Amino acid sequence: MLADSYPNPKREAPDIKTIYQPIQKDLDEVEKRLRSVGKVAPAHLSEILSHSLKGGGKHIRPALVLLSGKFNDYNLDHLLPMATAIEVFHTATLVHDDAIDNSTVRRWRPTINKVWGQDKAVLLGDYLFAKSAELIFVTQNLRVIEMFSQTLMTISSGEINQSFSAFKLEQTYEDYLQRISGKTASLFSMATESGAVLSHAPEKQVKALKEYGYNLGIAFQIVDDILDFTATEDEMGKPIGSDLAQGTFTLPAMLFLERYPRNNPVRKLFQNKGNRQENIRLAVESIRNSPIVPDCYAKASGYCAQACKNLKQLPDNPALQPLTELANYVVYRKR
């Protein structure tokens, strides 16, 4: 069953461990390989690597690689390095994001730049990207290797675009969609497409899984942007209103400004008028208690519905149910 247009607050998200059950043993192997990345490095590098790779993430991206490989030749000699690589890749983007934003907390823990400094964070991110490339090379699949380069360029381009558009109100929904396509959806679609390619799936299946990943990634980021206003700091593991503080114009803030243009705290914040922290507090409080939240969830649910529609092009397989449940998880999650 697909998620409703707006999550029932009494309904819990599907249990992620239950969703992962068909691949849990292989995900455990991915976790083991992630831990080993830090162990083989010199002392100072080992410490900082272990800190970055032990962040308590949900491992959705490596799970997508493995689940997408379940439809054909489930060759772990290729799929495990790819699943590990994509989590290392994702970690690299987070390390660089935190350094760029000067963030101090990520997943309830101090960021790399907070503990070791921005210079170390930038260099660590570079190291992790290189390590990801090394792991992907193990697959010996030129299409997947090219996919890595293209995705890295897409994400970097998206981050540059986000930086130049910070604190600018002249942005459309299309601008927002393009930004989160590069920031989040590109890595989701890389996960599903690479899993399909490495399992020698027919092109029709490769395309369907790639589009599933893209739509799931868009929904994931929209919900992330909603939670930046509606969740608690304990749930998110970082301060609420972080996007606003960085001048990132997300969908909730965009709709809030569009519907309530007069005396709007988002406008005041972006135009540097009044007290900065008070404007952030008012914006968070106003959006949290407005009809904008269900409207944003409706957008996310629409993309999840499209993702599940993509799955209908695939053959009957035990992996279909976990992929469908992931769509529900994305919408109903609290962090």
Domain with residue 198: its CATH number is 1.10.600.10
What was the pLDDT predicted at 110?
Answer: 87
pLDDT above 80: residue 107: no
Percent pLDDT > 90 in the chain is 78
Number of domains in the chain: 1
pLDDT tens track for 79-101 = 999 999 999 999 999 999 999 98
CA nearest neighbour of 71 among 214, 192, 211, 190: 192
pTM (2 d.p.):
0.94
What was the pLDDT predicted at 277?
Answer: 95
Percent pLDDT > 70 in the chain is 96
Domain that holds residue 311: 16-332
Residue 5 lies in a domain: no
Residue 213 lies in a domain: yes
pLDDT above 80: residue 227: yes
Residue 8 lies in a domain: no
Residue 181 lies in a domain: yes
What was the pLDDT predicted at 47?
Answer: 87
CB 85 within 8 Å of CB 30: no
Taking phi over 0 as left and psi of -120 to 50 as alpha, with beta for the rest, 107 belongs to left
Residue 11 lies in a domain: no
pLDDT band at 14 (very low <50, low <70, confident <90, very high): confident
Residue 6 lies in a domain: no
Residue 7 lies in a domain: no
pLDDT above 70: residue 283: yes
Neighbouring CB atoms inside 10 A of 2's CB total 15
pLDDT above 70: residue 258: yes
CB 200 within 8 Å of CB 73: yes
CB 184 within 8 Å of CB 213: no
pLDDT above 80: residue 144: yes
